[in-house]
Chain A
Amino acid sequence: MASATRPATVRERVADSDRSVGRLLLVAAGALFWGWLVVSWVNRWLGGVLVPVGQPLVPAGAVEATLAAIPGLAAYASDAAFVVELTPELARGTWLTVVITAVSLAVGFVLAVPLAVARVYGRFSAWVSLGYTELLRGTPLLAQLFVLYYGLNLASYVPGALSGVFARDVVWVAILGFTLNGAAYQAEYIRGALESVEEGQITAGRAIGLSKLETIYYVVLPQGLRYAIPSWTNEFVYLIKYSSLAGFITVPELYYRADQIASETFRYTLIFVVTGVTYLALVLTASKLMERVEDRVAIPGIGSGSEE
């Protein structure tokens, strides 16, 4: 019925009743993680205003000494110091992971929407879209990256305007690869969502004199994209993790740096646990962010805004 307040989603109700310690800890951990990342990046960009570039924000020696003084934690002091020593490298790698993911996802989305629309509403273009999607989803992403990097040697053709933005132009090749591949996956998610928009919505749009494209733009997409958010979040999460494949074409992102350090120090377990935790933090951030987006754009009767 008509009411001033929109019905709360299940998630909102759960969140309201759960102001628990766990939630606070999660928020605190998130703040610490992103605080550390951002301060590390800013420090590097400004040429080491806080600590010399390449040095951890907190001296490893101090961490080791502190832990050594605490009974029970003393055994972990040297490991902790080792991890602290790693942090500048991890922060650098994480920056590239974040940028590659964000840019590829955004540009991929811009490509995916027309691909999905073509697939659902097109005639000839539906076949083009289907071919593209199946080709990109049906072949290994790593193989696609190898073709772009080794096969086509695209790193040497990066346009002037983009060249030099990153320390190495190969980063652009990785972004291109993830964009093209991600667009195919995103298009599939969006296609499914568009198909769930009722036929009557299109009929009604056409009946007031909107053209087919206008109906898609003003009526179908605003609904379909809302339906797509939960499954689209999957693609976001996957992309964060498979951006690590960029390491195989020498992009010094998080996984690549971790692997390098591990092969120099042989401390594989410790390094990849820390790296894994970093990916986990990125993934949790992404899914929390998308939950927020979903709640923000929720409309009664559509997707998660529905009471059913």
Chain B
Amino acid sequence: MSDDEFLRVSDVSKWYGEEKVLEEVSFEMDRGDVTVLIGPSGSGKSTMLRCVNRLAEAQEGSILLDGEEVLSPDLDVDELRREVGMVFQGFNLFAHLTAVGNVALGPRRVLGLSETAARERAEAQLERVGLGEQFDSYPAELSGGQQQRVGIARALAMEPKLMLFDEPTSALDPELIGEVLEVMHGLVDEGMTMLVVTHEMSFAREVADEIVFLDDGRVVERGPPEQLFDHPEEERTGRFLERIASHD
């Protein structure tokens, strides 16, 4: 265990009724690390991600974030979510607010910034994701790629110490994926700690410090991308990667 350890997920299990969706999942991340969760649909990747900011409740195990137990019943979840940004597959932008309104809502209402300060912060974040021209556009007026970049800016505006990405490009047309990945690349370069669920294997290979392969709610294999992609130890990992590759 390194001194820089930032997130430690230990033996996390979760059931939906009778069905076990996560089974003793464990992995660790250092500050500034990028960890990518891969696996077939229904393998529990998104659920695992949501357990970290308690949008889903794990029933067993432990998640230590910066030394604090996330699964503690005494934890203030709103406080936790202030520090953990999340980007959704379906963008989930606030439909009634402009791009600036979407990004400013958290700083204004959660962090308590003044109207002006919140707007300034929102504009700065939108510039950061390359949307300086779209401040006053409503979500319905933006392309999918633009909407997702607003979604990223909205999470960044809270100045999170960890960013969760839940299949951020899965709902996008192929030609719009690049602009979102580019923004995510930028965050990696800035040293943001990121936990990413994605099917973009080339992106994972480029930026990930560790890949965690989940199947049936279990960690089948994990390791650095070169090892996991090129020399998978488990047969299941190999089969999954072949299937993904044949789709590309």
Contact = CB atoms under 8 A, between A and B. Distances in A.
B81 interface: yes
B90 A209 contact: no
Contacts of B133: 2
Contact of A207 (B79, B86, B138, B146): B86
A74 interface: no
A302 B55 contact: no
Contact of B94 (A1, A201, A306, A307): A201
A306 B139 CA distance: 12
Interface stretch (A83-91, A218-226, A233-241): A218-226
B52 to A, nearest CB: 11
Interface string A266-298: 000000000000000000000000000000000
Interface stretch (B13-21, B103-111, B114-122, B200-208): B103-111
A215 to B, nearest CB: 10
A307 B140 CA distance: 9
Contacts of B94: 201, 204-205, 219
A301 B139 contact: yes
Contacts of A203: 55, 88, 92
B12 interface: no
Interface in B127-145: 133-134, 137-143
A206 interface: yes
B96 A222 contact: yes
Contacts of A219: 94, 96, 105
A208 interface: yes
A214 interface: yes
Contact of B81 (A2, A206, A222, A223): A206
Contact of A226 (B78, B82, B96): B96
Nearest to A205: B94
B51 to A, nearest CB: 13
A211 B79 CA distance: 10
A171 B143 CA distance: 55
Which of B85, B105, B154: most chain A CB closer than 10 A?
A: B105
Which of A206, A223, A306: most chain B CB closer than 10 A?
A: A206
Nearest to A197: B95
A300 B81 contact: no
Interface in B30-88: 53, 55, 78-79, 81-82, 85-86, 88
Nearest to A308: B140
B152 to A, nearest CB: 12
Nearest to B146: A2
In which size bucket is the chain A interface?
A: 20 to 34
A1 B141 contact: yes
Contact of A208 (B81, B139, B142): B81
A94 B10 CA distance: 72
Which of A2, A208, A209: most chain B CB closer than 10 A?
A: A208
Contacts of B110: 208-210, 214
B155 interface: yes
B134 A2 contact: yes
B93 interface: yes
B126 interface: no
B137 A2 contact: yes
A159 to B, nearest CB: 37
Nearest to A207: B86
Interface in A8-63: none
A3 interface: yes
A306 B140 CA distance: 8
A299 interface: yes
B78 A207 contact: no
5 contacts: A1-B141, A3-B141, A208-B154, A300-B138, A302-B96
Interface of B: 53, 55, 78-79, 81-82, 85-86, 88, 90, 92-96, 105-106, 109-110, 133-134, 137-143, 146, 154-155, 158
Given A2-B134, A222-B96, 18 more contacts: A1-B141, A1-B143, A2-B146, A200-B88, A200-B90, A207-B81, A207-B155, A208-B82, A210-B78, A210-B105, A223-B96, A299-B138, A299-B140, A300-B140, A301-B140, A301-B141, A302-B140, A306-B140
* A-B pairs, 8 with minimum CB distance: A301-B140, A204-B92, A208-B106, A200-B92, A209-B82, A209-B110, A209-B81, A300-B140
